Amino acid sequence: MTLTQKVKNNISNVIVGKAESIDLLLVALICEGHILIEDVPGVGKTMLARALAISLGGLFKRLQCTPDLLPNDITGVSIFNQADQDFHFRRGPLFVNILLADEINRATPRTQSALLEAMGEQQVTVDGMTYPLPKPFMVLATQNPVEYEGTFPLPEAQLDRFLLKIDIGYPNHSEENQILHLLQRQHPIETLEPVIQPEVILAWTSEVWEVNVDQTIRDYMINLVNATRNHPDILLGGSPRATLSLFKASQAFAAIHNRDHVLPDDVKYLAVPVLSHRLLLKPEAELRGITSVNIIERIIETTPLSLKGQDEK
């Protein structure tokens, strides 16, 4: 059994029937990316983050985002020490391997922006001093797709920092019955044990770049993202970061499935979680009930794999 399979099996002891979500979680982890989970309360978002952190033997903290949360509450603060007459930096909850930012859209824009440097550069700057974050470092941010009162929608620059956007979804009848059985006496998260160490993830991160991506598939990725930039219903299409994210995620997805090359189906599977949150639709398209997922699925259907890049025409 591979190490990735051990991690997946370990998390599955807590999160029942969500193999696809666990796969995407590992993809983001290996790519040193972050995940935005948009789903209703009670489907296991917190347990998913905790199970991942425990499986890695890493540090985990849950940050409940509220309107009164300040940037220093996340990054940390310098405190004056009377004994040595100097300032000492007290680290905030960002200094962990896995950070769950629960209901991130309830934090103010100023507090949301405090995460930008950490998510993009894996470091924090406070009072002119820069502090590196632990490695691996990953943010799992959640938001409720139903309640928008008192929330602050994430700006496009912030959304673009998330490698993937996923939803966990409700369990089916059989899965929910299994959940009831598992939770009858003790929550399985209480007995979960680490199966790897954080250092292993860093090794995976360097190895994933060796996964081969054929030039035809590279062109296909570029054309998919380019199609979002020229679509009549989209105001803001995918950026070059979106293309790179699709590239890296496809490599990681192939790696966790024990392949040394990327398949076209990998790209098609990852296109929605990688691109959907990066697109800004025109208001008239939203009024017609069109979603970014609808558009991406249509682009996948109409973009042939053999289409060459625009520079080659």
Are β-strands 138-143 and 35-38 bridged in parallel, bridged antiparallel, or unpaired?
Answer: parallel
Q: Check whether residue 135 and residue 121 sit in a common domain.
A: yes
* Separation CA 74–CA 79 (nearest Å): 15
Q: Is residue 40 part of a domain?
A: yes
Q: Check whether residue 55 and residue 158 sit in a common domain.
A: yes
Q: Check whether residue 136 and residue 283 sit in a common domain.
A: no
CATH number at residue 219: 1.10.8.80
User: Which of 203, 238, 270 is where one domain is finished?
Assistant: 203
CATH number at residue 8: 3.40.50.300
Q: Check whether residue 197 and residue 218 sit in a common domain.
A: no
CA distances, 161 to each of 60, 104, 130, 183 (Å) = 20, 14, 20, 35
Q: Is residue 313 part of a domain?
A: no
Q: Check whether residue 70 and residue 199 sit in a common domain.
A: yes
Q: In this structure, what is the dihedral angle of CA atoms 224, 247, 54, 138, given to the nearest 10 degrees?
A: -80
Q: Check whether residue 68 and residue 178 sit in a common domain.
A: yes
Residue 157: the pLDDT is 84
Q: Check whether residue 30 and residue 164 sit in a common domain.
A: yes
Q: What pLDDT tens digit does each residue of the chain (313 aa) get?
A: 477 888 888 898 888 888 899 999 999 999 989 999 988 888 888 888 889 989 988 888 999 999 999 999 999 888 878 878 787 888 999 999 999 999 999 999 988 888 888 898 889 888 888 899 998 899 999 988 776 677 888 888 889 999 999 988 888 999 889 888 888 878 888 888 999 888 888 888 888 889 999 999 999 999 999 999 999 999 999 999 999 999 999 999 999 999 999 999 999 999 999 999 999 999 999 999 999 999 999 999 999 987 454 444 4
Residue 168: the pLDDT is 87
Residue 313: the pLDDT is 41
- Asked if 35 and 138 count as a contact pair (C-beta separation under 8 A), the reply is yes
Residue 303: the pLDDT is 92
Residue 148: the pLDDT is 66
Number of structural domains (the chain) is 2
Q: Check whether residue 85 and residue 171 sit in a common domain.
A: yes
Partners of 141 in beta bridges: 36, 101
Residue 80: the pLDDT is 79
Range of the domain at 183: 3-203
Q: Check whether residue 120 and residue 262 sit in a common domain.
A: no
User: Which of 174, 203, 232 is where one domain is finished?
Assistant: 203
Q: Is residue 193 part of a domain?
A: yes
User: Which of 203, 234, 251 is where one domain is finished?
Assistant: 203
Residue 245: the pLDDT is 96
- Radius of gyration of the CA atoms of the chain, in A: 20
